[in-house]
Each structure stands twice: as C-alpha cells, then as structure tokens.
Amino acid sequence: MATIEFPAEQRVDRLERQWQSKPGVLGWLTTTDHKRIGILYFWTTLVLFGIGGTEAMLMRTQLIEPNNHVLGPASYDRVFTLHGITMIFFFIIPMTTGAFGNYLVPLMIGARDMAFPRMNMLSYWVFLGSGIFLYLGLASGNGPNGAWFGFTPLTLRLFDPSRGADFYALALIFNGIASSLTSSNLIVTMFKLRAPGMSFNRLPTFCYAFLAAAFGLLFALPALSADCIYLFLDRNHGTHFFDPSKGGSNLLWQHLFWFFGHPEVYILIVPAFGIATAIIPAFTQRKIVAYPLVAIAELLVVFIGFGVWAHHMFVVGMPTISVVFFAAATAMVVIPSAIQVFSWCMSLITGMPRFRTPLLFIAGFIWMFVNGGLTGIMFVAVPFDQQVHDTYFVIAHFHYIIFGAAVFPIFGGMYYWFPKLTGKLYFERPGQICFWVIFAGTNLLFFPMYIVGLLGMPRQIYTYSSGMGWDAYNAAESAGAYLTALGIVLLFANLVVSYFKGEPAGPDPWNAPTLEWATSSPPPDFNFAVIPTVSSAYPNWDAEDRERDARKLADGVMVLEEGHEQPVSTTVDGRFAEVIEMPHSSPWPLVLGVCIALVFGALVIGHYGIAGIFGVLCLLSLFGWHWKEPQES
C-alpha cells in the first residue's frame, strides 16, 4: 500500500468508509463482516472445545485404573454424551465451516463478504444460542445421557424421565438451523461471488472441500432434525414413532440418525482435506498433484457418504442383502480417499517440503487418516464389524479420524493462517515441539484402544474390574490424554505469546498460492482494494495478474468504491455478471437470534403459548430485517 498515489489513496479511503464496522461492542453485535463473524465463531468454538476436552479428561481420569470413582455411572453417562455432542456439533463443524469457512472462503475467492452477510451473522447467534441452551440443560440437572446418537428407546421418557433428551433433541435442531444457514451461505458464496475469471476449474481445492462439507450439511441435517422432532413429540405429546407396540419402530431412529450421522463423519473430515490441500502447496512450493481428481474426490467422499449409513447397523438384524449392499458401498469410499492420500503424498515427495509447524500437522494428519482409514475398511468385513461392535476398537477408529485426522489440520490451519489474521509470525520451534507432544500424546491415547477393544472392552462403561487385562492399556491411554492436553495448552500458549511478541508477518510470509495472501495481514474491512482477476487455480503465484490488479487501483478499475459493492459472477465460468449492493451492519440478526432462542427455551419447558408468541416475534423481526433494502442503507 506504500506506493499508492493520491487518487488511489482516496479510493482506498472511500472503501474504508464504506466497509468499516461500527466501533466498539455495538460493532461486534451488529457486524456483517465475514472476518469478524469468523473470529466470533473461532473464540466461541474454542471455549466449547475446552469444555469438550475437559469432559474427555474427566473420562480418562475415571478410567485410568479399575474400580475408580471419580465419576459415578450417571455422571459418566452425561459426560460422554456431552463430550460427543460438544466436539461434533459445537466444535468441529462450527470451527471448520463457521470459523475457517467464514473467514477464508470469501478471501480465497476474491470476494468482499459472504453472499448473505446478515444471514451469516444470524447463523452465529443461533449457534451461540444452541450452545448455551445445551449447557443450560446440564446446569439445570437435565444433561442428556443417551450418547451422542441418542438411541431410542433409551432416550424415551420411560427410560429417561428427566428433560435431558428434550434438551438433546431441541439443541440439535437449534444447532442444525445454524449449520444449515452457514452451509447455504457458503454454497451460494462460492457459486456467485467468485472473482472474475475464477471458473469452477480454478476454484481452490480448499473451497471444493468446504463446498462438499456445505452440501453434506445441507442434505444430512434435515434427517437429524426430523428424528429429533419425532423424539420430542414421542416424549412430550404421546406420539408413537418409536413405539413398536403402536406401529412405530426403534430402527426408524437409527436409520434417520445414521442417514445424517455417516455423512456427518465426512462433513467433519472433508474440511481437513481442504486445509491440507491449502497448506501442502505453500510448503512444497508446487501445485497440488492431480488438482481435478482431488477436487472431484472431495465432493465424491461426501456424495458416497450418503449411501453408507446402515454400516452402523450391522448388528440390528437387517436382511443380508442390505448388509452386503452397505458393506460394498462403504468400501467405495476408499477410492476418493486413496486418490487424496496419493495426491498429498506425491505432492510432498515431488515438491520441496519445508516441515514448518503447519506442514508437520498435515504430515501427522496423513498418518492419522491412513491409520483410522485402514481400520475403517476393516469394518467392511461384516463378521469383524459384528465382533468389535460397541467396543473400544470403534472408539479408537473414529477418534483417529475425527480427532487425529479432522483436528490436526485445524491446528495446522491455525498456525498457517495465524500471520494472516494477526499480521504476526508465530514462534516456529515451540510450534514444532507442540506438534510432537500432541502427536505422541494422541497415538498413546488412541492406539491402545484398538488393542483393548480387541480384548473386549465395551465402550461407554464407567469403570471395569481389574484382572481383565485392560489395566495397563487404560493407564497408557489416560497418560496419552494428559500429554495431548498439555500439548494443546502449549500450542495455544505459543499463539498467544506470538500475538504479542511475534515478528511482523507481511502480507504473504509463505509465498502461498491462494488469494487471501494477496491482501494485507490482517486484511482490511473491504478485503481487496481491487477485485482480483483470476487466470489459474493458483492466483497468488500469477505475479503478472497481481501487478495488473495493483495498476488498476489508480485507474479505478474494479475498485467498486461507490457503495457497499460486490461483483457477482456467472456460476460455472466465473464471468463478471453484475455489481450488487451488499447489506450493511444490522441489529436484526441478533434480535431474530434471541427470539429463536426464546422459542426453544419455551418449548423445552413446555410453554407452547409463549413459544408461539416468540415465533410471531421471529416473523416480525424478519419483516423488520427486510424492510430496508441493502441499497437504501
């Protein structure tokens, strides 16, 4: 920005005036800036990660030795249930789609905001409300205790007379609204707001991964919502969806839950693929191997994920033909997964890898993913699946995937994009040490679970007797858990210290290929002074294009500073189609979010009239929201 001449400076000033948020707390409450919303998501999910992690520590402390009594059976049930719900719905999904997706996708596609900025803010308030709602349930003695999959009949009123399962059902519907809003927003943003020239074959693989996750959420969440609606009705209004004596079926719960639940697993992991494909080119200084195949594979993983749900149900007595179909469909997931593993490995081998902290986390992720993936394939052998069903072998498998493979890239991504968010460099050596501590801790935590699972230790038991041959493994797992926790604390401590004491990073410390590195660190409110024009999938390596963009500023070409303006492109080939006015900051998302929260609050205590009143207030706030059009504000 130092070389900007007078007219260009004036243009940048105008852009700043157009795009800046209101000052102070009010600015954060009413913002529509995708970066601020991403940061809000980040901190909120981090708090929830801390809560979910504490629950994990409680479990591992309870299981560190036989016949332990840190937690009683009832508390243990609540703790493992909330651990699962929190980590899946309140950490990984909002951290990936809400924090990483919100902050990075518009920057990567050369946009100034998400397609629906106010809806974006609404999604955050709804997400926050759903998290508070769930934990208010726990605080009021109504924590859910039927595991994250909440199987009926265990969660019906007969077996759970508390309001725990009501909080569970409503919290998941509530949270699902937030995720659906975010995923719709991500899809439309990537379809319509890509910079001119960014045709679909130039969309970064990171964005393809988030597109896949968003489509997955959009089509998977309604099944969970339907299930939770039935559960709430069965528990509170005497309906019989899950009552076999009245024509209902408990397997209905499982079919709908896993129709959501298995795509969900891929929804959790696919953003990690995206983060990996963003980090690998930056630290190998080469293009990702087989870009089109990787992009297709990311979408295909989620697509195939919709046809495999019943592999969670091999022990419920389905017909053999169904079992074989779902086993075969599950085996197909290997193909897109293997394509990606080969691409990451070949990119590392044929590039010049610099194993800085982010790439170390990606290397660790590849190990975790292959490990968890190979044990996942073993479940395709149906007799094996039936043997280890509900044992710690399954726990080990999916923690290698959704902690090792899904969360390692999140940590790597935090380090990779830390300079972009803060404008500071993190401290490298402590970062690398953190990686090794977490890597060692995670393997010590989860690998013995395979063995103890094969030895027959069932999941979800609050304690065990000595003499089963499980003691040493459990002690090792708990030691691994503490080590992992220590590593994670150090990891964040390093980032905090780096924030205050780190060297200035400059706009692009990694010579990375995507557009977020083409703007200053941290990015200005308007993201790009000149909307970039794109001619490849690695736009920040196209030096001529970027120089041409810089020259456009003085001429006022593609600056669009006359209003709160955003260019819109054609969906497939990214041709510059129109310039639209974007909404400014607005109080209505907060008002609507509060009204929605009050609807759920009234529902869970059974005051339907009050819920109706707040429902009407929701509608009125929607009328208020749309009263002033973007170009009028």
- Give the bridge partners for 566, in sequence order: 580
Report, in Å, the least distance between residue 402 CB and other proteins: 23
Residue 490: other Cβ atoms inside 10 A: 17
Q: Is the Cβ of residue 226 or residue 455 nearer to other proteins in the bound state?
A: 226
Separation CA 492–CA 512 (nearest Å): 23
Tokens of 139: 């605080």
Report, in Å, the least distance between residue 470 CB and other proteins: 40
Tokens of 238: 């005497």
Report, in Å, the least distance between residue 180 CB and other proteins: 5
Report, in Å, the least distance between residue 603 CB and other proteins: 15
Closest CA to 148 of 60, 238, 77, 226: 77
Distances in whole angstroms, Cα of residue 55 to Cα of each of 80, 169, 246, 462: 7, 20, 38, 13
| Helix, strand, coil distribution of the chain in percent, nearest 5 | 70, 0, 30
Report, in Å, the least distance between residue 443 CB and other proteins: 38
Q: Please compute, for residue 195, the number of CA atoms within 13 A of its CA located in the half-sphere on the CB side.
A: 34
Report, in Å, the least distance between residue 513 CB and other proteins: 20
DSSP state of 97: I
Report, in Å, the least distance between residue 242 CB and other proteins: 9
- Give the bridge partners for 504, in sequence order: 424
Closest CA to 479 of 31, 12, 53, 60: 60
Separation CA 146–CA 159 (nearest Å): 10
Report, in Å, the least distance between residue 29 CB and other proteins: 24
Query: Do residues 96 and 186 touch, judged by C-beta distance below 8 A?
Result: no
Tokens of 410: 């999140």
Number of H helices, E strands in the chain: 22, 2
Distances in whole angstroms, Cα of residue 31 to Cα of each of 34, 143, 632: 8, 33, 17
Q: Is the Cβ of residue 255 or residue 287 nearer to other proteins in the bound state?
A: 255
Query: Do residues 508 and 540 touch, judged by C-beta distance below 8 A?
Result: yes
Residue with tokens 């519907």: 173
Q: Is the Cβ of residue 212 or residue 405 nearer to other proteins in the bound state?
A: 212
Long-range contacts of 626-632 (CB under 8 A, 24+ apart): 630/564, 630/580, 630/581, 630/582, 630/583, 630/584, 631/563, 631/581
Report, in Å, the least distance between residue 36 CB and other proteins: 21
Q: Is the Cβ of residue 84 or residue 216 nearer to other proteins in the bound state?
A: 216
Report, in Å, the least distance between residue 594 CB and other proteins: 21
Q: Please compute, for residue 24, the number of CA atoms within 13 A of its CA located in the half-sphere on the CB side.
A: 1
Residues that bind other proteins (CB under 8 A): 115-116, 119, 180, 183-184, 187-188, 191-193, 196-197, 218-219, 221-223, 225-227, 229-230, 233-234, 237-241, 243, 246-249, 252, 255-256, 259, 533, 557-558, 562-563, 565, 567-571, 575-581, 619, 623, 626, 629-631
Q: Is the Cβ of residue 338 or residue 620 nearer to other proteins in the bound state?
A: 620
Query: Do residues 391 and 453 touch, judged by C-beta distance below 8 A?
Result: yes
Separation CA 31–CA 24 (nearest Å): 11
Residue with tokens 């038991």: 461
Backbone angles phi, psi at 520, to 5 degrees: -70, 165
Q: Is the Cβ of residue 185 or residue 371 nearer to other proteins in the bound state?
A: 185
Report, in Å, the least distance between residue 491 CB and other proteins: 36
Report, in Å, the least distance between residue 621 CB and other proteins: 13
Backbone angles phi, psi at 466, to 5 degrees: -75, 165
DSSP state of 458: B
Long-range contacts of 570-574 (CB under 8 A, 24+ apart): 571/191, 571/192, 572/199, 572/200, 573/199, 573/200, 574/194, 574/195, 574/196, 574/197, 574/198, 574/199, 574/200, 574/202, 574/534
In the chain, what's the furthest Cα-to-Cα distance? Answer: 80
Report, in Å, the least distance between residue 554 CB and other proteins: 15
